[in-house]
Chains A and B, each alone.
Chain A
């Protein structure tokens, strides 16, 4: 449904150029929820804006819903919906008025635009506030209106830029349901997020982007399986550097990453590694704050690929 090859974009900033996206190759299948995961400034929004025809790529090509991004951006526009990271409504008009206008901007006739607005208001449960001015909406309500606007013309693909950022857990869960409903209706959803749980729970497949380049792509399960083995987190008030020296190079430790107040160790099997770890630390007289064993998460995927944690921000 979406295919990109070598997509790149740099911006001229005051201090030299920023290479926001440095060659992205992606394939998104029809009917899936595809997650684009990455830290702040990784190039998620820039990639989305290129795919949504808002900015012209410096290099590379893309086909979206069968239309060529460079040769027929107008055709791409008709087939996609895009919901920006910030808001998208005027303050002094109502959601219903916005929905009707947006449908009409897509070339839909007046009567049908009204019908579509009614349907969207039902579908996204906007009825309670749809005839109030947009400036009175809560964050979650606003976000639902934004998404309703993005899909008012029933596009084949919809791009959602950080649809749940800043929402409370309840509104987030509500929005996840809306996104799943879009998939059930046959839409392909391409969303960005920097919430690991969101990528994990909501997305069929994810791509992880860092500094404008993909570092991993696959289903959340496959990505986690790639990390393999188990993760042991040890809390070590202040003794972490010394412990790292001791543990690095031990046969049962595959990889080792310092974290806040401790270490994270990637091991083949937690049950056999933990006694070794304890013995090594104890032998050196290091006191242990805590020890924890868990299955790898997407954060571990990110950490093993980049050496940094997504959670640290």
Chain B
């Protein structure tokens, strides 16, 4: 119970910080709109090759991809905020209290998950007029998947930030890791269009499983093998990254 209380305290403070920063709030809302309004028309032609004939088809392929992409890129860079907090001394101030070290991480990650899911909700709702249709149960499962991606990547990002402790080192590292993940996830275009060797590599990318699963769910096939596979893969990775970073929080931090 102490853990839950501590998570809630940290989460509340982190949420306050976000909401007090108007730039973040505006960017957070505009970013999804921009994906939706600028990207979708661009991809329409390309996606017809992959079997999308109507607007609704396009959105059914495109929206899940965009949501996964947002989950990756909206959370993978949260480590920067932690470096600022390390510098301000607020982490050290929390660490001398008996607060749970796991809560120091999960309170922050929960903030990231919540902000992401709000953005995803905006995109989903706005896509309905364009012909997107999906069942509530499938949607909830898809959101669980997105939440896992966000939790795992934000924890990973915080863990890397704690190790590097400098923005100058963090930026290139995150970019180098992030780019191939994105390119090989089949987000922008389905990997069915890719040559065989590329598909082979992509099979090792957990996010390409996530994208397949999200597309299956938006297509109304919760029983598709990709769904449970993605949930298990991401579940395991999330536990691993949370454990790793929570231990960094417990150990010494300059």
Contact = CB atoms under 8 A, between A and B. Distances in A.
Interface of A: 52-56, 74, 77-78, 80-82, 84, 86-93, 97, 101-102, 104-107, 149, 153
B201 interface: no
B96 A92 contact: no
Nearest to B21: A92
Nearest to B9: A104
Given A86-B88, A88-B92, 14 more contacts: A53-B96, A77-B97, A77-B98, A80-B96, A82-B96, A88-B89, A88-B90, A90-B90, A92-B21, A93-B16, A102-B93, A104-B9, A105-B97, A107-B2
A39 to B, nearest CB: 21
B88 A87 contact: yes
B6 interface: yes
Contact of A54 (B20, B96, B99): B96
A77 B13 contact: no
Interface in B75-96: 85, 87-90, 92-96
B66 to A, nearest CB: 31
28 contacts: A52-B96, A54-B92, A54-B95, A54-B253, A55-B252, A74-B98, A77-B97, A77-B98, A82-B96, A84-B92, A84-B93, A87-B88, A88-B88, A89-B88, A89-B89, A90-B13, A90-B17, A90-B90, A92-B21, A93-B13, A93-B16, A93-B17, A97-B16, A101-B9, A104-B9, A105-B94, A105-B99, A153-B97
B35 to A, nearest CB: 28
B89 A106 contact: no
Nearest to A78: B98
B98 A107 contact: yes
Contacts of B20: 92-93
Contacts of B16: 93, 97
Interface residues of B, number: 23
Contacts of A107: 2, 98
Given A54-B252, A105-B97, A87 B13 contact: no
Interface in B83-138: 85, 87-90, 92-99
Nearest to B19: A92
Nearest to B252: A55
B9 A105 contact: yes
A92 B84 CA distance: 13
B22 to A, nearest CB: 11
A56 B97 CA distance: 16
B10 to A, nearest CB: 9
Interface string B18-57: 0011000000000000000000000000000000000000
A68 B9 CA distance: 28
A149 B96 contact: no
B97 A88 contact: no
Contact of B6 (A56, A91, A105): A105
Contacts of B93: 84, 88, 102, 149
B5 to A, nearest CB: 8
Contacts of A86: 87-89
Which 8 A-B pairs have CB atoms at the shortest separation, nearest pair first? A88-B93, A105-B97, A88-B89, A55-B252, A82-B96, A105-B99, A92-B20, A86-B89
A20 B93 CA distance: 22
A80 B97 CA distance: 9
A89 B96 contact: no
Given A56-B252, A93-B13, A101-B13, A84 B89 contact: yes
A74 B95 CA distance: 11
B98 A90 contact: no
Contacts of A153: 97
A296 B89 CA distance: 38
A70 to B, nearest CB: 14
A39 B73 CA distance: 46
A166 to B, nearest CB: 14
